[in-house]
Amino acid sequence: MPIRRLVLDVDMAISEPSLTHLAQKIENVPGVQAVNISVTEIDVETIGTDVTIEGDDLDLPAIQRAIEHAGAVVHSTDEVVAGAYTLDRTPRKR
């Protein structure tokens, strides 16, 4: 079953890499069609980001390697969308 969307919690140093450099490294992974990086936290030494990646058949280990080679680290995988098409999250009603 192809992975179509990943949302990753990625931490990086305040000085390197830049957001555009990180996006370019991820976009160069085969299968990646779009990347969105949003800053969620900034402290003295690190920047926390949410990285959303979409494509037809995403390779999570290759994406993690690209992120690490850029100088950042994957803190967690927060969302995975897989299957024949992209399914958007529907909030649960309580």
Query: Model confidence over 6-32: pLDDT tens digits?
Result: 999 999 998 888 999 999 999 999 999
- Provide the residue ranges of all domains of the chain, joining segments of one domain with +: 3-82
The CATH number of 3-82, from 3.30.420.40, 3.90.950.10, 3.30.70.1340, 3.40.50.620, is 3.30.70.1340
Q: DSSP class of residue 62?
A: H
Three-state SS at 1: coil
* pTM for the model: 0.89
CB atoms within 10 A of CB 79: 11
Query: Model confidence over 55-85: pLDDT tens digits?
Result: 999 999 999 999 999 999 999 999 999 998 8
Query: Model confidence over 29-63: pLDDT tens digits?
Result: 999 999 999 999 999 899 999 999 999 999 999 99
Contact between 29 and 62 under an 8 Å Cβ cutoff? The reply is yes
CB atoms within 10 A of CB 30: 9
Structure tokens at 39: 């800053």
Structure tokens at 74: 């994957």
Terminal-residue alpha carbon distance, the chain: 31
Q: What is the pLDDT of residue 71?
A: 94
